[in-house]
Structure 1
Amino acid sequence: MSKLPIYKQLKFYIKEKIDNEEYLPGEAILSERELAKKYGVNRMTVKKALQSLIEDGILYSIPGSGTFVASESKNFMIGIFDDKTFASISSRLQASGDKGFSKIINKSIYTNIKSISKKLNISIDDEIYSLVRQRLNQNSEVIALEYFYTPRKLFNDIDNFDFTRVSLYDYMQKKNLKPTSYKRKLTIEPASSTIAELMNIKPLHFVYCFEFIGYADNHQIVEYTKSYIDTSKIKFEYTISK
């Protein structure tokens, strides 16, 4: 489904497993041979993907021992937002008069991702629909990179829709499962080279990282999303009430 080079797709999959805590800091990942067999690619492709992750500081290699997940870097917590102040990126762009649009990077169906299953409050065996997309402004500048996850069983026909044209929330509203309340947090962190490349920014450039869980009216969790937003293109302001 993706137009990315194969080694970058493999890099994306490995990074996603690390982000989803399937590989923990200090834990060894599969060998080059095992990864090649698992994903049906040659070892040179695996080697290139792993080397890129090592250069990003996500993995490190010990000769004769294997390749391991690097320790997590510290992020700066700058706020936790209540569910009355949320507006989607698209809504913010429209409100500012900017006719933004989306570009799909990857869409997949997963199972056995413990951390995401836990976020969505579903069984480890339940299918998870994943959508990765760039959010661009009217000047075709990437302002955000969004990782969206939802229980596939709630939206069996979701893969039939083009979310570069159709709003995700309009689709969810049609199913009577649009999020109406949220639990979220916001951090600022330096972009890895993978995130930087997809956002057309320099590695280690600081980005906002939003994580939020969306609940429908029946209190069912219908969405877990992680969005990276370029700090140089969007400004956030908030007021703390006593």
Structure 2
Amino acid sequence: MDHYFRAGSALINEAGYSYEKIKAYLLSEIEGGRLVTGSKIPSENELARQFGVVRMTVNRAITELVGEGIIYRIKGSGTYVSDGRFDTTLIEIAPISETVSKRGASHSAKVQTVRPFPASKVLARDFNLEEGAPLFTSEILHFSDSRPIQYEVRYVNPQVAPDYLLQDFERITPTEYLIAVAPIQRVEYVITAIVPTLHIANVLELVPHEPVLMLRRRTFAFGKVASLAELHHPSSRFEFSGVI
């Protein structure tokens, strides 16, 4: 365990440069391929136990690596290995599971489909790809307690998230997964009230003639369009709010 003593107003670490050892260890794990891009590194508590130091020492090592762009933090999720090719400005997007939880309810999800999908002319333009280029698509119904609260239609760029189809989206939301593997650099979105398709009206259990609030959100990561999501919400049971 580290030991500290005060010299004037400075806090001196008797263990010397323990944080540099932790920093060197993490760098060797990354450079050796044992921690790859998008991998979650051990928590500060785990590293503190492993090296027999206090958490503050680990935090210094991690903070320096974050500052160097080697790793990045996601609030409430953990610390991950960066791609290293781009200066990334992290933008926080709350997954639907977090939104539901903050309202005191329990989130669950039912996957409707997850599959490869060739880009239509419109989607190719959205993703800056050629028509027919491979994309992934998923449709997922999200619940707040037992009531449907969001129908998610999403298209994903395989160049950004090649393992997207392998994920269990009843355990982790697509938003949580994509944030972990592709830190968001930019977001474009628009919210509109629209008449839903019959299918969406049925699965969201809407009353007759009830519109949905549809959030259409395009996210960018690693210099590419990463995802395009169309998130449909019952207008009688959902609202968007924020503080500027």
TM-score, with normalisation over the residues of structure 2? Answer: 0.57
Partners of 2:92 and 2:163 lie apart in 1 by 30
Partner Cα distance (2:200, 2:161) in 1: 28
- 2:132 maps to which residue? 125
Matched, 1:157 2:188: no
Change beyond 3 A, Cα 1:232–1:193:
same
Q: In the alignment, residue 147 of structure 2 is paired with which amino acid?
A: E
Distance in 2 (CA, whole Å) between partners of 1:158 and 1:85 is 20
Q: Which runs of 4+ in 1 moved over 6 A?
A: none
Q: Distance in 2 between matches of 1:125 and 1:220?
A: 17
- Paired amino acid for 1:134: L
Identify the match of residue 147 of structure 1 among 143, 149, 153.
153
Kindly provide the amino acid, as one letter, of the partner of residue 126 in structure 2: K
> Matches of 1:128 and 1:84 in 2, distance apart?
23
> Secondary structure in 2 aligned to 1:92?
helix
**Letter aligned with residue 153 of structure 1:** Q
Question: 1:115: how far off?
Answer: 1.0
1:22-66 per-position Cα deviation (integer Å, ceiling 9, x unaligned): xxxxxxxxxxxxxxxxxxxxxxxxxxxxxxxxxxxxxxxxxxxxx
Q: How does 1:10-159 map to 2 (within 5 A)?
A: 86-138=93-145, 140-159=146-165
Aligned-residue sequence identity (percent) comes to: 15
* Pairs aligned (count): 155
- CA deviation after TM superposition for structure 1 residue 237, in Å: 3.0
Residue matched to 2:232: 228
Give per-residue Cα distances to partners, 1:129-180, cap 9 Å, x unaligned.
0000101011x110110101111233332222111102323432443x1324
RMSD: 2.3
Structure 1 partner of 2:187:
182
Asked if structure 2 preserves the Cα contact closer than 8 Å seen for 1:126 and 1:151, the reply is: no
Shift of 1:121: 1.8
- 2:127·2:157 contact (CA, 8 Å) conserved in 1? yes
State whether structure 2 residue 214 is matched by structure 1 residue 209: yes
Q: Which amino acid aligns with 1:209?
A: M
1:200 is aligned to 205
Contact 2:160/2:224 (CA < 8 Å) preserved in 1?
no
Relative distance call for 1:170 and 1:86 in structure 2 (3 A) is: closer
Change (3 A) 1:157 1:238: closer
- Kept in 2: contact 1:191–1:203 (CA 8 A): no
**Structure 1 position 208, deviation (Å):** 0.1
Counterpart for residue 31 of structure 2: none
Contact residue 110 and residue 129 of structure 1 kept, 8 A: yes
Q: Deviations over 1:184-241 (max 9, x none)?
A: 000011223121112122343111011010112x3321110001101111122356x7
Please tell me the residue identity of whatever aligns with 1:194. H
Cα distance in 2 between the residues matched to 1:170 and 1:238: 20
Tell me what 2:79 maps to.
none
- C-alpha contact 1:193 1:204 (8 A) present in aligned 2: no
SS in 2 for 1:162: coil
Question: Which amino acid in the other structure matches residue 167 of structure 1?
Answer: T
| Cα distance in 1, alignment partners of residues 183 and 92 from structure 2 | 16
